[in-house]
Amino acid sequence: MTWPGHDSNLSCDAAHEQITLLLYGELSDEACHRLEQHLAGCADCRDELEVTRALSSAMAILPVREPSPNLIAQTRLKIDEALEQAPRDSWLAHFRRSLWTDFRLLRTAPLAAATMLFAGVGLGFVGIRVTTPSPAPTSSSVESIPPQRIAAVTGVRQDPTGLVHVEYSSLMPLEAVGPVDDPNIRYLLLLGTRAPLNTSVQNAALGLLTNSCVGTVDCGADDSVRNALMVALRYDPHTNVREQALNGLAPYLAEDMHVRDAVLEAVLNDGDPQVRAQAIHMLAPVAADSSVQQVLQNVATHDGNPLLRNVSRNMLQQMPQVQ
């Protein structure tokens, strides 16, 4: 129903809501003007205005009380007590402190510190970096941390204010300095052979490890260096790393059957012809081995790469015949 002067663009339902907003001071000037025009021609809505005012008056029965001075004082005391007992540091501050503790420990007790620092990582991502330690990330600068520096996301929660907290562990660049035969340095070099994002680091680590074995049979008390080289030869996706690993395995060929088998496997299956050719040349000292000759015969006869067929044939011709 439309009254004379009634703004036909404003429904009574909408007018009722605007009356509420009006009395709360939330109505724009333009909307107020439209409401006035509507009210001028709508008795029902004028009645609604009165009812809404009456409701407001009724609500005044429950006034907002100011807290008493006693209540304020007691509350302040309780807050003070609670703050005295509350730990201020967030997990980030604890994490930051523990990293600083680890760093100081590294400088004063290399063995213990290296073990502690890298035992938890155990992912083979650590490389030898010649960098100074950078400040630990804060919540406000988390977006500036490169993804490769983030080790893992360990927790997600939302706080009462609606902010999201994501706990994560990050890699802190540090530096260890020492001779190549230092156990801690060798341990770090071994981890460095598995650094997937930085082949120069891998090569440097492999080179240092293999050079330290030149002229020696025993490269340390355990097989760690040999194993690292074999893993790199077998699994590393980078050609130059596998070539470096082959170089490093040369001293082991004469005495170690596992190494010999790994080199033979590289001759047959490596994806790069250069690596396969290098492996073939490496087998010269052990040419008398029947397994070696069998593999070379196979390559010389059936291999799809003519260069490798030639290399194998040449090697066989230089070899003494097996009795």
Please give the residue ranges that form the binding site for another protein (CB under 8 A). 17, 20-27, 29, 32-33, 35-36, 39-40, 46, 49-52, 54-67, 71-72, 74-76, 78-80, 82-83, 86, 88, 90, 92, 138-140, 159-163, 165
* Cβ at position 172, least distance to another protein in Å: 20
Residue 6 vs 260, nearer CB to another protein: 6
Q: Are strands 164-170 and 150-158 parallel, antiparallel or unpaired?
A: antiparallel
Angle in degrees, 0-180, between the axes of helices 29-40 and 43-59, rounded to the nearest 10: 120
* Cβ at position 6, least distance to another protein in Å: 13
- Only one residue has tokens 């070899």, namely 319
CA distance 304 to 73: 91
Residue 14 vs 105, nearer CB to another protein: 14
* Cβ at position 188, least distance to another protein in Å: 34
Residue 75 vs 298, nearer CB to another protein: 75
254, burial (CB in 10 Å: exposed 0-12, middle 13-18, buried 19+): exposed
CA distance 191 to 198: 12
**DSSP codes, 7-45:** -TTS-HHHHHHHHHHHHTT---HHHHHHHHHHHHT-HHH
Residue 64 vs 221, nearer CB to another protein: 64
* Cβ at position 24, least distance to another protein in Å: 6
CA distance 270 to 87: 58
CA distance 130 to 201: 11
Q: Which residues contact 57 (CB under 8 A, 6 or more apart)?
A: none
Residue 57 vs 321, nearer CB to another protein: 57
Q: CB–CB of 178/184 below 8 Å?
A: yes
* Cβ at position 84, least distance to another protein in Å: 9
Q: CB–CB of 239/275 below 8 Å?
A: yes
Residue 88 vs 302, nearer CB to another protein: 88
* Cβ at position 78, least distance to another protein in Å: 5
Residue 138 vs 211, nearer CB to another protein: 138
Residue 51 vs 153, nearer CB to another protein: 51
* Cβ at position 150, least distance to another protein in Å: 19
* Cβ at position 15, least distance to another protein in Å: 12
**Three-state SS at 270:** coil
Torsional sign, CA 313, 315, 318, 323: negative
